Amino acid sequence: MIDLLNEKLNEMLPLPLSQRRLPKSEQIDGMIAAHELPLLAGAKVSYDCNNIAQLQLNLDHQQALFASHHSFTMGDIIPATVLLEYLLEAAAWLLGHHFGQQQCYPLAVSQFIIERGLVLTPGKTTELEIHIEKIAINSVKSSLKVSLLSQRINRQGKCLGKKRHASAQISFDFRLKPSVQLPYFDGEIQQYKACKDFLYDRIITTHGPLFQSLTGEFVLSENRQELLGEYHCQHKEKGWLASGNDHFIMSPLGLDSCLQLICFSAILHDGKPRLPMKIQALQVFRQHPSHSFCRVHIHLQRADEAEIICKMAVFDSNNQVILEAQGVMMRHHMGQQFDAEIIEQWLARSAVTATPATDTEALVKAELEASDE
């Protein structure tokens, strides 16, 4: 299959893509069908003077039912994971529509940066644009640089140009392989079976029912630099969009669950809430499950007053690696400071057992296998 795809790509690309012009039949405006990609359904397709595709679409609360479940003091913010899904779907659509590439996995995302949040105002429609800034294709790897923008509107309602919310380099690379097999803890660990209601009532208070995926079971290293947490999407993404289409490329809820646990790890570190701002590198090896639990192993690598940096790996119920990420940056934002004493009391009540560092890799493997039974 891969060889046939490579041959097809080579036939279609006799020149470097920077020198290739799309046939006139491909340069007409069109609409993306509702069944193709959930977030892009109904998007209008056009091309700039360099024959690079641009997608225009509208977003409001009637379509994005999840928005009211991700509410902060400044309004209903589109989650970072949804911003990334927009970029992924745009890249997948372009490669599939123009170059016949249908396989999405494995894929890699580099330099995913959120420059500014995307806030939805109830009763108003936000016009979005997705631009493909750079494309490079060879026999085994297809890469695009994609940006998500909206209009810059002043108080008088006049459009002053565009503002960029997020951008990333996206590659579909058949050679990608996981670098990890199992989570490994260096030192003693503590296991917790906690009441998940506390997490959403007292800690992650910005997330409504459609985002509440954490099960409350996790393992924490003695120095609190590592956490292995469990979550279950429970098909909740079916309720995210008015269309009910949840065929996302990379589960926004799954990745958001990981970010929730990173926020939790940061709070355990210094009590400060943080928001995701950047992922330096992300590799997705297979489709994220929506019907079974997953575990994410988080390792805090650097922490200071302003931000934390960590890496993570996600495993499905069969202990297969779904994705890995490096350089995940969470930045402190002004807001609630958590009561460390209350959290410590909650942790003490939730603790199951302390485990010496006798062979933690084997221990974690045994725990994962026991949970599968």
Q: Quick check: 90 and 67 in contact, CB under 8 A?
A: no
Cβ-count burial 87-124 (b if 16+ within 10 Å, e if not): bbbbbbbbbeebbebeebbbbbbbebebeebbebeeee
Nearest C-alpha neighbor of 364 from the set 183, 188, 192, 181 = 183
Question: HEC profile for 11-60?
Answer: HHCCCCHHHCCCCHHHCCCEECCCCCCCCCCCCEEEECCCCCEEEEEEEC
Question: Amino acid identity of 330?
Answer: M
Which two three-digit tokens encode residue 350?
């939730």
Rounded distance between C-alpha atoms, residue 85 and residue 77, angstroms? 15
Is 256 one of the annotated active-site residues of the chain?
Answer: yes
Question: Amino acid identity of 142?
Answer: S
Rounded distance between C-alpha atoms, residue 170 and residue 282, angstroms? 9
Is 70 one of the annotated active-site residues of the chain?
Answer: yes
Rounded distance between C-alpha atoms, residue 176 and residue 174, angstroms? 6
Residues 6+ apart with CB under 8 A from 336: 205, 273
Sign of the alpha-carbon dihedral angle for 68, 70, 76, 77: negative
As to burial, measured by CB atoms within 10 angstroms (0-12 exposed, 13-18 middle, 19+ buried), residue 336 is middle
Q: Which of 76, 232, 256, 297 is catalytic?
A: 256
Q: Which of 70, 207, 232, 299 is catalytic?
A: 70
Q: What is the DSSP letter of 66?
A: G
Rounded distance between C-alpha atoms, residue 240 and residue 81, angstroms? 13
Q: Quick check: 337 and 274 in contact, CB under 8 A?
A: no
Query: Which of the residues are catalytic?
Result: 70, 256
